[in-house]
């Protein structure tokens, strides 16, 4: 028989098919905001309060009435002192209040003049060494007087109540992946707990009789053809960065029974089984028949470089293994099919397909709406004439000018390129690149996070 070129599946089609299968997981966890970094919000965060809660000072300075300062050089009596965390008394006409950043503006005041434009004239230093707390005696000679060197405008240096966030506003949408900044925002509206989506449970294994785990054999004792397993190291770290619980099943021997047994056991308590190796056409491989014995598997040839071979399938609920008894709905149990994704064994292909296909899939399992990384238009500081028929992802690095330089060896065998590089350029099929062209750049910091 002649081996034909298999039909290639366009990348966008593969991604869309994959995301169509990634039904968000139903489980919910209530976690402390304090510990929620990286988790995905399961419900909108609605503000129960205005931020800021009341009108407050944007500066260290003096709160006053504009009507009392018709001209630069006006002198006012300092009648009170309002620190952040305290509250003032109504401002009497003709007086000023010493005020600090964040402190509530007293009723009656309509502007704050920053201290750099004021001159404290007498009495004790109105700064940090003065008495603590608001003064509530109308005659407080210790606070002295202040000369105002500018003519204030109404509203000046006052942050209005609700200016940043109004009560009832949605500050974080369900489906938001929480960053440190988002934790701060949730805390700022008083939320000490958040409802988030369960962590995906992922079982991970490699196939390939040529693979040896680092530490098992020293280099000088490696048999011919043996190579160290590297894919599981980065796949596990990437899954963990995405918030997954990862169960490592090691290297499964290239035997059908062993593969079926591993899949059956893993399927019972995992949402996704991820493998690397065994999905190339004609490869020495028991993954495909093993998955098909328990469910379904489609081998895809995706029109990308690197990363062409890829497999998506599932293990049917009925064929899932696990402990005896049919009890469903336990904490660790699950119902429904278990997803199966098979990545190419080649390390660079495995890494690239993880970042471009598995990452969006795993985010979508957690209910993230916006799963696709946005490219940045950046300048190529290299030429690329070897345009491929497939969509290509070149390993590049930013230089000191903010442009992109190309790693010399774009072969898919060596992870060196993915350590040297800080991102990839997404090159459309058949399109050469000339120095100075604006290209579509995706930083690894986003693809590996």
Question: Which residues within the stretch 355-414 sit at the binding site for a copy of itself (CB under 8 A)?
Answer: 374-379, 398-403, 409, 411, 413-414
Of 135, 198, 231, 410, the one binding a copy of itself (CB under 8 A) is 231
- Residue 348 exposed, middle or buried by CB count within 10 Å (0-12, 13-18, 19+): buried
Cβ proximity to a copy of itself, 314 vs 395, nearer residue: 395
Stretch that binds a copy of itself, among 8-16, 65-73, 342-350, 359-367 (CB under 8 A): 342-350
Peptide bond between residue 431 and the one before it cis (omega within 30 degrees of 0):
no
Torsional sign, CA 424, 425, 426, 428: negative
State yes or no: residue 318 binds a copy of itself (CB under 8 A).
no
Count of residues that interact with a copy of itself, criterion CB under 8 A:
128
Q: Which stretch binds a copy of itself (CB under 8 A): 8-16, 66-74, 80-88, 322-330?
A: 80-88
Nearest to 189 by CA among 32, 58, 50: 50
Please say which residue, 193 or 336, places its beta carbon nearer to a copy of itself.
Answer: 193
Q: Pick from 70, 215, 325, 329 the residue near a copy of itself by CB under 8 A.
A: 215
Half-sphere exposure of residue 144, counting CA atoms within 13 Å on the CB side?
A: 16
Contact 318, 411 (CB under 8 A): no
Binding residue for a copy of itself (CB under 8 A) from 92, 150, 195, 230?
A: 230
Exactly one of 174, 222, 268, 317 binds a copy of itself (CB under 8 A); that residue is 222
**Residue 280 sits in the site that holds a copy of itself (CB under 8 A):** yes
Q: Which is nearer to a copy of itself, 23 or 399 (CB)?
A: 399
- Interaction mask 84-123, a copy of itself, x per CB under 8 A: xxxx------------xxxxx----------xx-xxx---
- C-alpha closest to that of 199 among 331, 69, 317: 331
Report the 3 state secondary structure along 412-445. CCCCHHHHHCCEEEEECCCCCECCCCEEEEEEHH
How far, in Å, CA of 206 to CA of 241, rounded?
20
Binding region for a copy of itself (CB under 8 A) out of 17-25, 65-73, 182-190, 361-369: 182-190
- Please state the closest distance from residue 237 (CB atom) to a copy of itself, in A: 4
Q: How far is the CB of 449 from a copy of itself (least distance, A)?
A: 6
Stretch that binds a copy of itself, among 8-16, 67-75, 184-192, 262-270 (CB under 8 A): 184-192
Half-sphere CA count of 283, side-chain side, radius 13 A = 24
For residue 115, the Cα-to-chain-centroid distance in whole angstroms is 40
Kindly provide the b/e burial profile for residues 390-407, where b requires at least 16 CB atoms within 10 angstroms of the residue's own CB.
bbbbbbbbbeeeebbebb
Give all strands (DSSP E) within 229-368, no chain letters. 245-252, 272-276, 295-301, 304-305, 309-315, 338-343
Least distance in angstroms from the C-beta of 330 to a copy of itself: 29
8 near a copy of itself, judged by CB under 8 A: no
Q: How far is 214 from 251, CA to CA, in rounded Å?
A: 12
- For residue 165, state whether it binds a copy of itself (rule: CB under 8 A): yes
């Amino acid at each position: 028989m002649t081996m034909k070129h298999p039909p290639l599946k366009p990348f966008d089609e593969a991604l869309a098919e994959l995301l169509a299968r990634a039904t968000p997981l139903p489980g919910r966890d209530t976690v402390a905001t304090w510990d929620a970094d990286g988790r995905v919000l399961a419900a909108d965060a609605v503000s129960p309060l205005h931020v800021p809660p009341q009108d407050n000072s944007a500066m260290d300075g003096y709160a006053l009435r504009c009507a009392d300062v018709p001209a630069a050089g006006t002198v006012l009596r300092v009648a009170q002192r309002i620190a952040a965390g305290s509250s003032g008394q109504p401002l009497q006409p003709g007086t000023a209040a010493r005020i600090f950043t964040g402190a509530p503006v007293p009723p009656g005041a309509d502007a704050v003049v920053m201290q750099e434009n004021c001159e404290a004239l007498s009495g004790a230093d109105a700064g940090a060494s003065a008495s603590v707390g608001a003064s509530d005696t109308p005659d407080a000679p210790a606070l002295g007087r202040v000369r105002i060197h500018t003519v204030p405008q109404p509203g000046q240096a006052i942050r209005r109540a609700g200016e940043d966030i109004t009560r009832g506003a949605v500050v974080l949408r369900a489906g938001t992946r929480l960053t440190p900044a988002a934790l701060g925002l949730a805390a700022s509206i008083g939320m000490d707990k958040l409802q988030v989506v369960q962590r995906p449970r992922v079982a991970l294994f490699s196939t390939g009789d040529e693979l040896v785990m680092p530490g098992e054999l020293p280099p000088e004792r490696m048999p011919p053809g043996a190579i160290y397993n590297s894919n599981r190291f980065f796949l596990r770290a990437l899954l963990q960065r995405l918030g997954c619980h990862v169960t490592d099943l090691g290297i499964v021997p290239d035997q059908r029974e062993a593969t079926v047994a591993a899949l059956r056991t893993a399927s019972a308590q995992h949402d996704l089984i991820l493998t690397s190796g065994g999905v190339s056409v004609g490869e020495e491989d028991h993954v495909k028949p093993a998955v098909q014995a328990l469910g379904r598997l489609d081998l895809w040839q995706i029109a990308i470089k690197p990363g062409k071979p890829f497999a998506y399938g599932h293990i049917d609920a009925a064929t899932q293994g696990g402990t005896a008894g049919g009890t469903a709905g336990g904490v660790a149990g699950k119902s429904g099919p278990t997803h199966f994704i098979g990545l190419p064994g080649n390390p660079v292909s495995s890494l690239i397909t993880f970042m471009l296909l598995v990452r969006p899939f795993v985010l979508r399992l957690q209910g993230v709406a916006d799963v696709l990384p946005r490219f940045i238009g950046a300048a190529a500081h290299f030429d690329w004439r070897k345009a491929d028929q497939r969509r290509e992802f070149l390993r590049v690095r930013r230089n000191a000018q903010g442009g992109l330089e190309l790693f010399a060896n774009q072969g898919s065998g060596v992870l060196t390129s993915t350590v040297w590089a800080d991102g990839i350029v997404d090159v459309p099929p058949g399109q050469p690149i000339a120095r100075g062209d604006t290209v579509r750049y995706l930083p690894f910091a986003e693809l590996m996070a």
